[in-house]
A = this chain, B = another copy of it.
Amino acid sequence: MSIRIVLADDHKMILAALRSMLEKEKDIAVVGDAADGAALLELVARTEPEIAVVDVGMPGMNGIEATQRLIAGRPGIRVIALSAYSDKRFVLEMLNAGAKGYLIKASAGDELPRAIRAVAQGQTYLCPEVAAVLVDAARGKSMLQVNTAAKLGRRELEVLVLLAEGKSSSVIAARLHIAPSTVEVHRRNIMRKLDLHNVAELTRYAIREGLTSA
């Protein structure tokens, strides 16, 4: 039941070091390594790993392009980015390319195994420096929803979110421990206040306001 991973980095010594470090972890199996993007694609096609640990700054096909192609060709695979620095553009592009984790090489030694386990479980793992970069990038991307909280009550907000998630009135009623008819009243009030007329518009509104993600 070990996690099958592959490594990609243009520095052979780093590959060797990573491999020896990860071989101490019983639940992680390194099934191959590659020195550039093209070799990585071939390696992944052959070994079918769950996770690829990819250096961002490789010559030839870099980590970003390699990640895009990797995920396009094998949507199930999860990519952890490894980089020398937490450069903002690299971070954003790698994460947009679909990387689920991002570590810098200065991270503590036990962060890579921890990141691998977290990502294998479907979580997102960012090292502190990268988290700080993201926080910085997200600065100013809030503030848009004040009209929602102003117009809707707390309960109505809850109902709105659940409706936008595709739950039916009866399911929502069970979840909130209230009668289905009450859920429908909330729904109607929400629609009246926001001038929406069906679940699709309601869902789009919730996503637009950041109440739920797509």
Contacts and interface: CB of A to CB of B under 8 A. Distances in A.
Interface of A: 72, 75, 87-89, 92-93, 95-96, 118, 123-126, 128-129, 131-143, 145-147, 163-168, 196-204, 207-214
Nearest to A213: B136
A110 to B, nearest CB: 12
A87 B128 contact: no
Contacts of A147: 75
Contacts of A137: 138, 141
Contacts of A167: 200
A89 B198 contact: no
A125 B143 CA distance: 21
A166 B197 CA distance: 8
SS class, residues of chain A in contact with chain B: helix
Nearest to A140: B96
A137 to B, nearest CB: 5
Given A124-B128, A134-B138, A138-B137, A88 B213 contact: yes
A89 B210 contact: yes
- Tallying the copies of this chain within the complex gives 2
Q: Which of A140, A142, A213 has the most CB of B within 10 A?
A: A142
A164 B132 CA distance: 19
B211 A214 contact: no
Contacts of A128: 118, 123-125
Nearest to A162: B200
Contact of A143 (B96, B165, B199): B96
A92 B210 contact: yes
B134 A92 contact: no
19 contacts: A72-B146, A89-B211, A92-B140, A92-B141, A93-B143, A95-B135, A96-B139, A123-B131, A123-B132, A124-B128, A124-B132, A125-B131, A126-B131, A131-B134, A133-B213, A137-B138, A137-B141, A166-B204, A199-B199
Contacts of A87: 211
Contacts of A163: 200
